[in-house]
């Protein structure tokens, strides 16, 4: 039905661990994205001991913004990425690893 996992994205010279997902349209709005994103976030925190995970989302992608927010992420920035010679605004969402940052 699609894919969800971790990727490395470079923003402002920093390499960030990103939760990314892409589902076939027939499976949108059925809860699969949030279920997968939560599992990937937990995996990044417990298996990789990542201090943070990020999601980079087009500013007009309301569904993905909702997934990030339901996944406990907060908007921490705005960037512009170029696709096909066009500037496209993206929001940067972040979640901190509670297993590390509670101490």
**Given a cut of 60, is residue 29 above it in pLDDT?**
yes
Question: What separation in angstroms does the CA of 102 have from each of 16, 46, 51, 56?
Answer: 21, 14, 11, 25
- pLDDT tier for residue 82 given thresholds of 50, 70 and 90: confident
Q: What three-state secondary structure class fits 97? A: coil
> How many Cβ atoms are within 10 Å of 49's Cβ, its own excluded?
10
Residue-level pLDDT at 102: 63
Mean pLDDT of 13-27: 95
**Confidence tier at 12 by pLDDT (50, 70, 90):** confident
Whether pTM > 0.85 for this model: the answer is yes
pLDDT for 36-51, tens place per residue? 999 999 999 999 999 9
CATH superfamily entry for domain 2-101: Gcn5-related N-acetyltransferase (GNAT) (3.40.630.30)
Ranges of each domain in the chain = 2-101
């Amino acid at each position: 039905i699609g894919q969800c996992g971790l990727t490395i994205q470079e923003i402002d010279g920093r390499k960030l661990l990103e939760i990314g997902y892409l589902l076939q349209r027939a499976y949108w709005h059925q809860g699969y994205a949030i279920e997968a994103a939560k599992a990937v976030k937990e995996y990044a925190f417990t298996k990789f001991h990542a201090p943070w995970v990020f999601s980079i989302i087009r500013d007009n992608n309301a569904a993905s913004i909702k997934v990030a927010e339901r996944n406990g992420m907060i908007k921490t920035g705005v960037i512009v990425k170029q696709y096909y010679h066009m500037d496209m605004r993206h929001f940067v969402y972040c979640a901190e690893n509670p297993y590390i940052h509670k101490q």
